[in-house]
């Protein structure tokens, strides 16, 4: 599985979540998103929960891996 990488550091919400949603809409099934806005973790988690996506912390600071398919 190819992981799409989104570097949204320096962007304020809602932009990190908008970029995540766009990547999935364009066909990404796994996304590594880096976002340092303090609001971003909650926004990313809320979107993932609403859509039924998996989410896990990434090894990189301020990073999360979002998956739209079950492992």
Q: Answer with the residue of higher pLDDT: 15 or 70.
A: 15
Model pLDDT for residues 1-58, shown as the tens digit of each residue: 789 999 999 999 999 999 999 999 999 999 999 999 999 999 999 999 999 999 999 9
Cα gap 8→36, rounded to integer Å: 8
The SS3 of residue 69 is coil
The predicted pLDDT at position 34 comes to 98
Q: What is the domain partition of the chain in residue ranges?
A: 4-65
Q: DSSP characters for 8-62? A: -TTPPTTHHHHHHHHHHHTT-SEEEEE---TTHHHHHHHHHHHHT-EEEE-SSTT
The predicted pLDDT at position 19 comes to 98
Q: DSSP characters for 43-54? A: HHHHHHHHHT-E
User: Would the pTM count as exceeding 0.85?
Assistant: yes
Which of these CATH numbers, 3.30.70.1060, 3.30.110.40, 3.30.70.20, 1.10.10.60, describes 4-65? 3.30.110.40
């Amino acid at each position: 599985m190819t992981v799409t990488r989104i570097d949204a550091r320096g962007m304020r919400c809602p932009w990190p979540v908008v970029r995540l949603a766009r990547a999935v809409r364009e066909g990404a099934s796994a996304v590594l998103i880096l976002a340092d806005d303090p609001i971003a973790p909650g926004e990313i988690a809320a979107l993932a929960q609403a859509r039924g996506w998996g989410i896990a912390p990434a090894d990189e600071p301020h990073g999360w891996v979002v998956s739209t398919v079950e492992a």
